[in-house]
Amino acid sequence: MSQAVAGEMVLEKLIDTVMRTAIAQAGAERGLLVLLKGADPRIEAEATIDGATVAVQLRNEPSSEAILPESIMHHVLRSRESVIVGDAVAQPEYAADPYVLRRQARSILCLPLINQAKLSGVLYLENNLAPRVFAPQRIAALKLIASQAAMALDNARLYRDLAERESKIRRLLDASASIIGIFVWDFDGRILEANDAFLRMLGYDREDLRAGRLRWTDLTPQEWSDRDVLLAQAIKMARHLRPSEKEYYRKDGSRVPVLIGAATFEEDAHQGVALVLDLSERKRAEARARESERRYREVQMELAHANRVATMGQLTASIAHEVNQPVGATVTNAQAALRWLRAEPPELEEVRQSLLRIVRDGNRAADVIGRIRDLIKKAPPRRDILLINEAIREVIELTRGEAVKHGVSVQSELAEGLPLLQGDRVQLQQVLLNLVINAVEAMSGASGGARELRISTAFAESGEVLVAVRDSGPGLTPETMEHLFKPFHTSKPGGLGLGLSICRSIIEAHGGRLWASPNVPRGASFQFVVPVDPDIAA
């Protein structure tokens, strides 16, 4: 009987065997198996005599005075000693128990279930047909059964818990088998076992695995080998590996990018398990996103170039004036030099001064044309080292004629000692050019009041360079502010509505911000900040 109890690992069957054996050996008419769940005793099973057979019912409910004498049960749980009652209803210490009074209980035996000094519950037996039913010679056998039952119950519960955990793990693996590759490996480079998802990922089959043709060291491209050596050393020390990216060779020689995590087995630190996620689709999505971003940047550059060309078209008269001035001065100085040469004797010093002025005016005209050419040519973005104040002065010179034509007074307040910036000089000048032209056009339609345009720079508290363009025009309405930087929104007749949108994109590409606000007392204020690179500034 002891072997029968010890050999059963299914908990429900074990409880049935224990209860039937106890009832038969004790000569009891009723029995209860009480197991502790934490500190709470719960009735796990009840056995009763039904004619010549023993009926066992699994219950799983809290103990109560309606089911058994709790005073006896708690005494056994506290003392860990067996209690034998010859005639409970006749013994004063038990006669007051509600269960004994109600059932007129007589013979009672309550045995503790102890395994390796751990109390797991009690085995309660009773026979109300006669007193002193539980004879001493039977109690010795019952104590042996109780001891064996305690050990078997603990083992059966551990077995059940292990089976439940394995079932959960199996369900998890089955659920992830279509997307997560799993393989068992060793530090010699062998792949000992793998699921179908991993084999499909690399294009192999079960026959390749059985033949030993899969080695994770051979599947790893050469450029990843040194890194794998370091990871192997790390996993030997920590017993696990955080997820990291790498590549494997497929059977056809192509590569698959993967995310892999691994851990060693506690019982055999020379082997471990790895989980592998195929990143091919994610990498393709990232490539598509990069290509989309590249195309977006190309379109944006095309629009920016078109915007610059359109703006320069607006400045045709101003450009002609800027070029005509040095060209006219050059002609005048050349004529003067000729007159000094015709003098008797020739005034060579005066000729030399005229020639110097011709050189100066020629360089001035070349600078104007060079700036115009730089602004309208199509060139890839550059990362120049530049002084923002110099770039602003060039834009002011280029737009001076337009400002004079519309009666606008341009004032500059450029802070001294600003740090160097890194960025595309042409693009930043395009932003300034757009803001200045917009301000001049806004004020040209305003009646009354001075037309003033103020351009200023400063070093912001946030460590950025701040540029502000403020005008005294009609200002911005709340409706205009809401859509100001949206593409294709414009308040100009014939405008495309791309200028401010492109300006904001340029500033954001430089890591800065562009915003608009009302100017005080009237007009609009456009400001942008560009971050300073500490190394370049130093």
Look at the alpha carbons of 55, 61, 64, 69 in this order and tell me if their dihedral is positive or negative. Answer: positive
Write down the pLDDT at residue 407.
87
Give me the phi and psi of 240, to 5 degrees please.
-150, 165
User: What whole-number distance in Å separates Cα of residue 23 and Cα of residue 262?
Assistant: 53
* Residue 389 to residues 47, 399, 418, 465, Cα–Cα distance (Å): 98, 15, 8, 11
Tokens of 431: 């932003």
Q: How far is CA 244 from the centre of its chain?
A: 14
Tokens of 217: 């060291």
For Cα atoms 515, 519, 525, give the angle at the middle one, nearest 5 degrees.
Answer: 30
User: What whole-number distance in Å separates Cα of residue 447 and Cα of residue 426?
Assistant: 34
Dihedral in degrees, nearest 10, Cα atoms 285, 290, 295, 300: 130
Q: Per residue of the chain (538 residues), what is the pLDDT tens digit?
A: 666 666 666 778 878 888 888 888 888 899 999 998 888 899 989 999 887 788 989 888 999 999 999 999 999 999 999 898 989 888 888 888 999 989 888 999 999 988 888 888 899 999 988 888 887 777 877 787 787 777 877 777 777 777 777 776 666 655 555 678 888 888 888 888 888 888 889 999 989 888 888 898 889 898 888 888 888 888 877 777 788 889 999 999 999 999 998 888 775 578 888 889 889 888 888 888 888 888 777 766 666 666 666 666 655 655 665 576 678 778 888 888 888 888 888 888 888 888 888 888 788 777 767 666 665 665 556 678 889 999 899 888 878 877 888 889 999 999 998 998 888 887 888 788 889 888 888 888 777 778 899 999 999 888 899 999 999 988 887 777 777 777 655 555 544 456 787 788 888 888 899 999 988 888 899 999 999 877 766 6
Q: What is the pTM of this model?
A: 0.41
Write down the pLDDT at residue 252.
92
Look at the alpha carbons of 362, 363, 369, 370 in this order and tell me if their dihedral is positive or negative. Answer: positive
Write down the pLDDT at residue 313.
61
50-59 per-residue burial string, b: 16 or more CB within 10 A, e: under 16: eeeebebeee
**R_g (Cα) of the chain, nearest Å:** 47
Write down the pLDDT at residue 297.
72
Residue 106, C-beta contacts closer than 8 angstroms, at least 6 positions apart: 87, 88, 89, 126, 127, 128, 129, 130, 131, 133
Write down the pLDDT at residue 381.
62
Q: Cβ distance 452 to 409 under 8 Å?
A: yes
DSSP state of 224: G
Write down the pLDDT at residue 7.
64
Sheet containing 107-115: order of strands: 53-62, 40-50, 30-37, 118-127, 107-115, 83-85
Q: Strand, coil or helix: what is 533?
A: coil
Write down the pLDDT at residue 18.
83
Write down the pLDDT at residue 8.
64
Extended beta strands in 366-521, E state: 384-386, 409-414, 421-423, 452-459, 464-471, 513-518
Helix axis angle, 388-398 to 348-376, nearest 10°: 100
Size (the chain), residues: 538
User: What whole-number distance in Å separates Cα of residue 465 and Cα of residue 441?
Assistant: 26
What is the number of other CB atoms lying within 10 angstroms of the CB of residue 354? 22
Dihedral in degrees, nearest 10, Cα atoms 376, 380, 382, 387: 10
